[in-house]
Amino acid sequence: DAKTTQPPSMDCAEGRAANLPCNHSTISGNEYVYWYRQIHSQGPQYIIHGLKNNETNEMASLIITEDRKSSTLILPHATLRDTAVYYCITGGGADGLTFGKGTHLIIQP
Amino acid sequence: DAGVTQSPTHLIKTRGQQVTLRCSPKSGHDTVSWYQQALGQGPQFIFQYYEEEERQRGNFPDRFSGHQFPNYSSELNVNALLLGDSALYLCASSSWGGWTGNTIYFGEGSWLTVV
The predicted model gives B16-45 an average pLDDT of 94
Give the residue-averaged pLDDT of B76-80.
98
- A17-31, B76-90, B94-108: segment of lowest average pLDDT: B94-108
| Per-residue pLDDT at A3 | 83
Cα B31 from Cα B53, distance rounded (Å): 10
Show the beta-strand stretches assigned E in chain A. Answer: 9-13, 18-23, 32-38, 45-50, 55-56, 61-64, 70-75, 84-91, 103-108
Give the pLDDT score at A94: 52
B70/A contact by beta carbon, under 8 A:
no
**Position with higher pLDDT, A26 vs A106:** A106
Please write the tens of the pLDDT for every residue from A63-100.
999 999 999 999 999 999 999 999 999 875 555 777 88
**Interface check A57 vs B, CB under 8 A:** no
User: In chain A, which residues have their Cβ closer than 8 Å to the Cβ of B103?
Assistant: 46, 49
